[in-house]
Amino acid sequence: MQEIYAIRWSPTGPGTNNPNQQLILASASFDSTVKLWDVELGKLLYSLNGHKDPVYSVAFSPNGEYLASGSLDKSMHIWSLKDGKIVKTYTGNGGIFEVCWNKEGDKLAACFANNTLCVLDFRM
């Protein structure tokens, strides 16, 4: 296990727009994994392995069904939280430092180490 670089709360659980879904904490790590945690029980739900380099950013979709992760390996993965599998991958020309969803959950933005910003349409 290596340093954790970023953490994000899911938009799920009591008091959110998705109250019937479990509250999850996601962590992005320099060991190239994304981990999903059940904070109530203090246990690991999933270790998402798909990146080859440190993961700098994670972001939950507004409906809490997907997680985007951006890494120095120049790729952004979109994971389904139902089964922990990658549903889409976007690759750029530089490491990704930040990923972010719009409030409707149909667009994703990513900023790359080569001074570019991209906005992607997302539909499943």
pLDDT band for 123, please (50, 70, 90 cuts): confident
Give the angle 71-72-73 at the CA atoms, nearest 5°.
85
Q: Which two tokens stand for residue 98?
A: 């930040």
Predicted confidence at residue 4, as pLDDT, reads 93
4-121: CATH number: 2.130.10.10
**For 9-17, what is the mean pLDDT?**
94
Sheet-wide strand order for 25-29: 4-9, 25-29, 33-38, 43-49
Query: For 84, which DSSP code?
Result: T
pLDDT in tens, 33-44: 999 999 989 999
Domain boundaries defined on the chain: 4-121
Other beta carbons less than 10 A from residue 104's beta carbon: 10
What kind and span of H or E run contains 56? strand 55-60
